[in-house]
Amino acid sequence: MDANQNNDPTKKTYHKKATGKALETVEKHSQDHELKLFGSCFCPFVQRVWISLEMKGLGYQYIEVDPYKKPQQLLEVNPRGLVPALRHGDWGCYESTVLMEYLEDLQKGEALLPSDPKLRAHSRLWSDHINRHIVPGFYRYLQAQDEKSQIKHGEELKEQISKLVDTADKSGPFFLGDKMTFVDVQMAPWVVRLRKVLQPYRGWPEPEAGTRWTSWVEAIEQNHAVRATTSTDDLYIDSYERYFENRPNTSQVQQAINSGRGLP
Ligand X SMILES: N[C@@H](CCC(=O)N[C@@H](CS)C(=O)NCC(=O)O)C(=O)O
Q: How far is the CB of 152 from ligand X (least distance, A)?
A: 24
CA triple 264-96-170, angle to 5 deg? 110
Residues 21-40 interacting with ligand X (rule: CB under 6 A): 40
Q: Are 189 and 48 in contact (CB under 8 A)?
A: yes
Strand pairing report for 91-94 and 61-64: unpaired
* Member of 4, 13, 51, 95 binding ligand X (CB under 6 A): 95
Q: How far is the CB of 42 from ligand X (least distance, A)?
A: 7
Is residue 136 a contact point for ligand X (CB under 6 A)?
no
* Member of 82, 157, 188, 228 binding ligand X (CB under 6 A): 82
Q: Are 232 and 4 in contact (CB under 8 A)?
A: no
Stretch that binds ligand X, among 25-33, 121-129, 225-233, 247-255 (CB under 6 A): 247-255
* Member of 52, 186, 230, 251 binding ligand X (CB under 6 A): 251
Helix (H) or strand (E) holding 105: helix 96-105
The nearer residue to ligand X, 139 or 213, going by C-beta atoms, is: 139
Residue in 18, 1, 4, 15 with CA at minimum distance from that of residue 229: 18
Q: Three-state SS for 37? A: strand
Residues that bind ligand X (CB under 6 A): 40, 43, 45, 67-68, 81-84, 95-96, 251-253, 264
